[in-house]
Amino acid sequence: MSIVNLIPYVQIALSVLLIGGVLLQRSEAGLGGAFGGDSFSSGHHSKRGGERVVFIATIILAILFVATSFTLLVLK
Residues 1-53 have pLDDT tens digits of: 788 999 999 999 999 999 999 999 877 655 555 555 555 555 666 778 889 99
The residue range of the domain holding 17 is: 1-24+49-76
Name the domain count of the chain.
1
Spell out the alpha helix ranges (H) of 1-76: 3-24, 31-34, 50-75
What is the dihedral angle through the alpha carbons of 21, 25, 30, 35, rounded to the nearest 10 degrees? Answer: -40
Which pLDDT does position 58 carry in this prediction? 96
Which pLDDT does position 6 carry in this prediction? 94
Which pLDDT does position 33 carry in this prediction? 54
Asked if pLDDT for residue 73 goes beyond 60, the answer is yes
Q: Say which residues have a Cβ less than 8 Å from residue 69's Cβ, sequence separation at least 6.
A: 11
- By three-state DSSP, how is residue 25 classified? coil
- 14 domain residue, yes or no: yes
CB 7 within 8 A of CB 71: yes
- 37 domain residue, yes or no: no
- 62 domain residue, yes or no: yes
Which pLDDT does position 57 carry in this prediction? 95
Total residue count of the chain as it appears in this document = 76
